[in-house]
Amino acid sequence: MERSTRRHRRIRRRNVILASALTTTLTLSGAAAWAADRYLVEHVEIDDVAAYEAENSSVTVDEPGTAEEEAEDAEVILTDTSYTDGQTSLEISTVVEGSGDATVTYYVADVTLGDATALRSAFADNRFGQNITELTSTIAEDNGAVFAINGDYYGFRDTGIVIRNGVVYRDEPARTGLVFFTDGTVEVYDETTTSADELLAAGAWNTLSFGPAIVEDGSVVDGIEEVEIDTNFGNHSIQGDQPRTAVGVIDDNHLVFVVVDGRQTGYSEGVTLTELADIFVDLGATTAYNLDGGGSSTMYFAGDLVNSPSNGGERATSDILYIAG
């Protein structure tokens, strides 16, 4: 009788353990399914961005070729580090600072736009939504870009104000953004104090929703090392030495784009946000804004990668800023 009781107790105990293990497995499976849906599964909101923009844009833009015809075919000049079409021009330079393990390598694209709308945005696979990604170079090539950088990875989140090429895609104010206007001005703004429609009415051409702003009024912004950007599941901290991508403003229609390589000992360790801000101040920028970095940091020019991404190759992203060639 005693052996039978012990046996029944062992069976009940084993059943409890099995039930507990099954519950844990189901819980983990549910979490995995949620994570996959949130970070991996494509959620397409607009399946043909080009058609959507053609239908909804209120801004008239000269397509590649039209402006050149009106200017009697202005000569296009392309070198290994520069480009001009007679209106928009850019010059790319490489900067190496420090030595040994403290070496930092970064790339600067100094861009003067003939018109503010020459700086455009493009989405991966010509679609808008979450978790839709392609390589920066692929998006650039698909859109005839001569120059491109990775954008703000809008597709990682479902918040923010997203206006691209004069068209509203998302109006979920959440953070400090950057807005490019059709008159060539660029401003840092608080998304929560306005709306996409108000920005569009004021002449917004493109917005970026990442951050933080690292330079304002020509000075490094205080406290940027403590800022957390979307530090949710699967997203790394932006503090410390990291690969970086950012955009700065010298003057109306005069921009500088910086991509810093990192996580590559002896070649480039990356920079902190304060060090990135110092680069822009030294370049003469009055405003600068941090974009998606890390493995996403990519600069593309004339069919080739300019920098050396930290993953050993490009990481797919959701969007780019570019200049058509």
- Tell me the residue length of the chain: 325
Both 210 and 120 in one domain: the answer is yes
pLDDT at res. 227: 84
Both 109 and 175 in one domain: the answer is yes
List C-alpha distances in Å: 293 to 151, 210, 213: 9, 10, 14
Q: Which of 131, 117, 127, 116 is nearest to 50 (CA)?
A: 127
pLDDT at res. 14: 44
Phi–psi pair at 51, nearest 5 degrees:
-70, -40
Both 24 and 105 in one domain: the answer is no
pLDDT at res. 29: 73
Both 22 and 131 in one domain: the answer is no
Coil, strand, or helix at residue 184? coil
Both 127 and 13 in one domain: the answer is no
**Tokens 């691209």 sit at which residue?**
164
Both 48 and 30 in one domain: the answer is no
Both 150 and 179 in one domain: the answer is yes
Contacts of 257 (CB under 8 A, 6+ apart): 108, 109, 111, 149, 245, 246, 247, 248, 299, 321
Both 145 and 8 in one domain: the answer is no
Both 182 and 282 in one domain: the answer is yes
Tens digit of each residue's pLDDT, the chain (325 residues): 444 444 444 434 444 444 444 444 445 577 778 777 877 899 999 999 999 999 998 787 665 554 444 445 579 999 999 999 999 999 999 999 999 999 999 999 999 999 999 999 999 999 999 999 999 999 999 999 999 999 999 999 999 999 999 999 999 999 999 999 999 999 999 999 999 999 999 999 999 999 999 999 999 999 999 887 765 444 456 789 999 999 999 999 999 999 999 999 999 999 999 999 999 999 999 999 999 999 999 999 999 999 999 999 999 999 999 999 9
Both 234 and 293 in one domain: the answer is yes
pLDDT at res. 228: 77
Both 75 and 157 in one domain: the answer is yes
Number of folded domains that form the chain: 2
Structure tokens given for 303: 């069919």
Domain that holds residue 11: 1-40
**Tokens 């029944």 sit at which residue?**
8
Both 30 and 129 in one domain: the answer is no
